[in-house]
Every structure is written in structure tokens, then in C-alpha cells.
Chains A and B, each alone.
Chain A
Amino acid sequence: MNAVSALELGRQIRDGERSAVEATDAVLARIGERDAGLGALREATVEHARTTAAEIDRRVAAGEAMGPLAGVPVALKDNICTRGLPTTCGSRILEGWRPPYDATVVTRLAAAGMVTVGKTNMDEFAMGSSTENSAYEATVNPLDSSRVPGGSSGGSAAAVAAGLVPLALGSDTGGSIRQPAAFCGVVGVKPTYGRVSRFGLVAYASSLDQIGPFATNVADAAALLEAIAGHDAMDSTSIPEAFPDITARLGDGVDGLRVGLPREFLGDGIAEDVRRRVHAAADALAAAGAVVDETSVPAAAHALSAYYIIAPAEASSNLSRFDGVRFGVRKDAPTTPEMYDLTRSAGFGHEVKNRIMLGTYALSAGYYDAYYGTAQKVRTLVIADFDAAYERFDVLLAPTAPTTAFPRNTLVHDPVKLYQQDICTIPTNLAGHPAMSVPFGTGDDGLPVGVQVLAPALGEVDMFRVAAVLEEVAP
């Protein structure tokens, strides 16, 4: 495990107690020693990391004013484009591809002086909840090798939980940051849709995707989010409002804050030990001065169904770009149409093909209104019901996932059951709201339970205030 937090490491580097090169070499050594049995990293970007770290050390030595995370190593989910560095999305179809540009978050990490040390494993094109759908290898939960790390950002969660890196970025379309954070016992944040630029994030479902941080603690997660958030002209869905200084508000406490417990997130299908932890977290917030009461978000009960129409529909369109023409792998054929067929059939895995076909079906003539149109209307109801709840409450509290980390090689063979892993996380993606998972004790099996803090759009400050208190009082 990491002895020091990312912010403390940043301070040590700024104050010259430790060099960025030393910090980077230590991380690379840990990856080399421990990742073989874990499968958290797709690739360590050794040369790039050492060059970047040496440059940070030069700037520190020259007396330049550096940000709080300068010199701190970070790992990136492998669907975030890194110029000249492999970006596979966990798929064979992008094997060997090196993007000709950086995602905006990568540019911002560089501006913050952070050092990208590797790309993390993921379910292919972020489709999965266990990181067993990577075309390359499955990632293992570092706390128990018989369990999954969650997904689809399981590599990022495992890398942070195992202490390989202090920080990582993931992406969350239906819970892909929060659920693995919960399973691995780390902090994971999905910001408000539009807070973090999606430019250079390989798209799964564009109206739902959002990049966010993984960290071992709430303050580190806040600092990393502050480094990447804010308006970007390269993303037309980017929110113009400036991102608030969350770090300054972490110690504000929750006195008088109104916390709702939505019953749809605590009913059947949620394991009893997980439910107990959420109620314990609510009690702890009440003891800290928050006003806690039950509430309801009725349409959330239908969010999963709407999501599994909307996300595949958007994916079927987004993934049409993988055709063997401009990037990635090509299977040769006598004509271009045949080349498309062979390339896509060989390049995509089973789950990706399923979701592309499901989306194509839901968007096809005759079925569009019944499936896609209906799902979009349910999305409207989900938003309206959240809005009503947020008239009475500042934040909502819920489980992140229905269970603790489940055994490997089980749910991956049963899509419907696997999808139900996302029942607590999907509603916020449909609404575009922020939500984060904070570790809060363990389940009956001794594995971590994540408690989820949900907030209305742009509500990151209150969300982090609650998370900071939960972290302080967590068992």
C-alpha cells in the first residue's frame, strides 16, 4: 500500500524531499513486481513517465511554482487517448494503435505536472462490470484474488487499491468508476455530465460517458478532479460554469445538510450487509449534524431498462467508426464492404457485438418508438423524480453496488444478472448528475462496501463534504 497520499507525495516533491523521478521509478518498480498476478495495467509507459518526471524535477529545481499534484504518478484507463502511447480500449480492434492526439484530460494532467505511468485494463469499450470482458486479460481484485475488481474501470480501481499508483482516471457510463471503487475499497467519482471534457475519450454512450478520478482518499480525489475539470471548447457538451474549489470546502462538515435515503435504492436485490452499512452511514451523518430522512425516486426502478436501450443505441452508432479504414486493425478482403465485415467480426468481442446489435435493433425502423423512444421518455421521468427529491434534500445516500465484489467467472456468463450490478449507479448517469463511492466498512465476507453519495447537477461541493465526513467516521 502507498505510505503517503498523493497530495503528501506532491508536497514532498515540491519541497525537494523526494524527486519526481524517484517517485516514478518506485511506481514503475511496484508495477513490475506486482502487476503480473493482478492484470491492472495494460501497459506501463516507462520511457514517457521517466522523461516527464525528469522535466518536473528540472522545473522544481528552477524554483518554478508547481501545483499540488506536480510529479505525482497517475494511471489512465485505456480508453483515454494518449498521443503516441498505445490506447486499446481493451479491444483487439485497436491493438497497436497509437492516437495522434491527447485527450483534453491528458493535456490537463500534463499542465498539472502529473506523470502518466501507464494505461489500465478495462472491459472492452467499457462494456462490462467485472473487467473480465477485456480482450487481453481479466483483472483480479487485489483484496481477494478469487473476486472481480468490478468494472469497467477495474484496472484503474485495482491499480490504486493495490498501491501500484496513488491516482488513476476511469470513465463512468453506467457505474464504471463507482462500482469498481466500491469493490476495491477506494474512492471513485463520477462528476456532473459535462464537468470533465470527453474530447479524446473513446466514446461508448456519448450522452452518459464521463471521466472521473480514483484515489485512496477523498482529498486526493478532489485534487485530481480539480486538475481535470472545467470548460473545454473541444467538447460541445462541456459545461461553461467554472469548476468550484472543492478542496477548500472539504472540512465544512454536514451540519444542517439534508440527506435523503431513496427507498428504490435500498429494496430487494440489495444484500442485507450492504444495506446495513448504508444505514450506518446515514446514522453517522445524522450524528454529525445532518438532517436525514427517507425519500423516493420512483422512476429509478425503471432506469436499468432504459439504460440498456439507450447505451447500446448510442454505442451502435459510436462503434461504427471501427471499420478498418482509419485506425487499428484491418482484416484484408477483396472489397471494402467485405473488409468492414471481417475486420469488425474479428476485432470485437462477444459482449461488444451483443450491445452493437441490441442498439441497432432498438434504433431500427418499426422498433425505434417502442424501444429507444420509450427509453428516452423514461429518462425524462428519472430526471423529474430526482429533481423532486432534490427540492427536499441536498444529497442522497445509497449503496454503490448491490453486493460486495462477486466471484470471478460467474456473472460474466449471465448478462441480465451482470447488468443488475448497475442498478444503483445507472440512474445518475441517465440524469447527468454527479455521484461518488466512498469505502464504508466491510460486508459479511470481509470485503469493502461502498456507500454512494448522489447530488444534483453541479452539486460536487456538497457531495464531497458528505464524502469527507463519511471517510472520517467510516468503521
Chain B
Amino acid sequence: MPERITRDDVEAVARLARLRLTDAELDLSAKELDAILGHADDIASLDLAGVEPTSHPYPLGNVFRDDVATPSLDRDEVLAAAPAAEDGMFRVPPVIGEEP
């Protein structure tokens, strides 16, 4: 098991997760996440050699449907639920560079 999480680690994962934390939030989360990971230390000492990982509890083979087109969600209804839409598309601020 690696070193448990530091305040710098929390700042880094917050950035990866697209979250901005205040200093107070960073302090609290660093403390809490460290305690949680500390509690999970017990599994680091288990002998897991040769144990396969499980990602899904109820194994099903590949699930295919018939290749038949079926109606999708109504576009206007979907766009009506979005914060901003234009010309049948979701509208967002500029993705790169300065605002025009």
C-alpha cells in the first residue's frame, strides 16, 4: 500500500475531478480521506496472490440486441432539459482560447 493521501494529493485529484476546493475544504477533505484510506489498510496485508479481480457480481456473456433501429429520446425534450441549447444542439461557452 502506498503512502496515504496528502493535502497536495487531494489538490491534484480535485483538479483531475474538475472540482475547485477552498483552503478549508482542502484541509477537511485531506483529513477525512486519509482517515478513510487508513481504515482500508486492512486489505493491504491480505495474501491475494493468484486471486482474480471481480468487476461485476453476476457474470453474463456479451449482451447483444437485434440490430434494429428503435426510436430514441425526443430531441426537443432532451434539449429543453439542458442549461442552454441552440439549433438543435447543446450550447456551451468556448472550449479553447479566449471568448470571441
- Could you tell me which residues of chain B, from 34 to 81, have a CB within 8 Å of some CB in chain A? 35-37, 39-44, 46, 48, 51-58, 60, 63, 65, 73-74, 77-78, 80-81
Chain A residues touching B, majority SS: helix
Q: Is A360 an interface residue (CB 8 A)?
A: yes
Residue ID in chain B nearest A372 by CB atoms:
B53
Number of interface residues of A (CB under 8 A): 77
Q: Which residues of A contact B96 (CB under 8 A)?
A: 335
**CB atoms of A344 and B18 under 8 A apart:** yes
Partner of B83, one of A328, A337, A361, A379: A328
Partner of B48, one of A192, A237, A374: A374
In whole angstroms, what is the CA distance A34 to B63 when docked? 46
- Could you tell me which residues of chain B, from 13 to 40, have a CB within 8 Å of some CB in chain A? 13-14, 16-21, 25, 28-29, 32-33, 35-37, 39-40
In whole angstroms, what is the CA distance A302 to B48 when docked? 13
- Contact (A327, B81) CB under 8 Å given A373-B53, A415-B32: yes
- Contact (A370, B1) CB under 8 Å given A193-B58, A344-B18: yes
> Which one of B5, B28, B82 has the greatest number of beta carbons of chain A within 10 Å?
B82
**CB atoms of A306 and B43 under 8 A apart:** yes
Q: Is B94 an interface residue (CB 8 A)?
A: yes
Partner of B42, one of A208, A302, A348: A302
In whole angstroms, what is the CA distance A238 to B29 when docked? 36
Residue ID in chain A nearest B66 by CB atoms:
A233
Partner of B93, one of A207, A236, A335: A335
Q: Is B87 an interface residue (CB 8 A)?
A: no
**CB atoms of A416 and B39 under 8 A apart:** yes
In whole angstroms, what is the CA distance A98 to B18 when docked? 25
- Contact (A340, B39) CB under 8 Å given A329-B83, A378-B48: no
- Contact (A308, B43) CB under 8 Å given A334-B93, A357-B17: no
In whole angstroms, what is the CA distance A432 to B57 when docked? 5
Chain B residues touching A, majority SS: loop
**CB atoms of A193 and B57 under 8 A apart:** yes
Partner of A326, one of B19, B51, B52, B90: B90
**CB atoms of B14 and A305 under 8 A apart:** no
In whole angstroms, what is the CA distance A375 to B37 when docked? 12
> Which one of B19, B42, B65, B77 has the greatest number of beta carbons of chain A within 10 Å?
B19
Q: Is B86 an interface residue (CB 8 A)?
A: no
In whole angstroms, what is the CA distance A192 to B95 when docked? 43
Q: Is A316 an interface residue (CB 8 A)?
A: yes
Q: Which residues of B contact A8 (CB under 8 A)?
A: none
- Contact (A377, B57) CB under 8 Å given A100-B74, A358-B33, A364-B13: no
Residue ID in chain A nearest B35 by CB atoms:
A416
**CB atoms of A325 and B90 under 8 A apart:** yes
> Which one of A100, A208, A350, A356 has the greatest number of beta carbons of chain B within 10 Å?
A100
Q: Is A51 an interface residue (CB 8 A)?
A: no
**CB atoms of A345 and B58 under 8 A apart:** no
In whole angstroms, what is the CA distance A113 to B92 when docked? 41
- Contact (A336, B93) CB under 8 Å given A357-B17, A377-B51: yes
How far, in Å, is B89 (CB) from chain A's closest CB?
A: 11
Q: Is A57 an interface residue (CB 8 A)?
A: no
How far, in Å, is A350 (CB) from chain B's closest CB?
A: 7
User: How would residues 282 to 318 of chain A score, 1 for a CB under 8 Å from any chain B CB and 0 otherwise?
Assistant: 0000000000000000000110111011000000100
**CB atoms of A383 and B57 under 8 A apart:** yes
**CB atoms of B99 and A361 under 8 A apart:** no
**CB atoms of B48 and A236 under 8 A apart:** no
Q: Which residues of B contact A339 (CB under 8 A)?
A: 92-93
User: How would residues 92 to 111 of chain A score, 1 for a CB under 8 Å from any chain B CB and 0 otherwise?
Assistant: 00000111110000000000
In whole angstroms, what is the CA distance A373 to B1 when docked? 11
**CB atoms of A353 and B29 under 8 A apart:** yes
**CB atoms of A357 and B19 under 8 A apart:** yes
Q: Which residues of B contact A335 (CB under 8 A)?
A: 93-97, 99
**CB atoms of B43 and A233 under 8 A apart:** no
Residue ID in chain B nearest A207 by CB atoms:
B56
User: How would residues 404 to 446 of chain A score, 1 for a CB under 8 Å from any chain B CB and 0 otherwise?
Assistant: 0000000000011001000000000011110000000000000
Partner of B57, one of A207, A316, A320: A207
In whole angstroms, what is the CA distance A364 to B9 when docked? 11
- Contact (A430, B81) CB under 8 Å given A336-B95, A378-B46, A416-B39: no
**CB atoms of B58 and A354 under 8 A apart:** no
Cβ contacts A to B, 10 pairs, < 8 Å: A100-B78, A207-B55, A305-B41, A306-B43, A308-B36, A325-B92, A328-B83, A329-B83, A374-B43, A381-B51
Closest 4 CB pairs of A and B: A432-B57, A376-B53, A330-B83, A305-B40
A residues with CB within 8 A of B? 97-101, 192-194, 207-208, 233, 236-237, 239-240, 301-302, 304-306, 308-309, 316, 320, 323-330, 332-342, 344-345, 348, 350, 353-354, 356-358, 360-361, 364, 366-367, 370-371, 373-381, 383, 415-416, 419, 430-433, 457
New A-B pairs, 8, CB < 8 Å, besides A305-B43, A336-B93, A377-B52: A304-B39, A323-B18, A339-B92, A353-B17, A357-B10, A357-B19, A374-B44, A378-B46
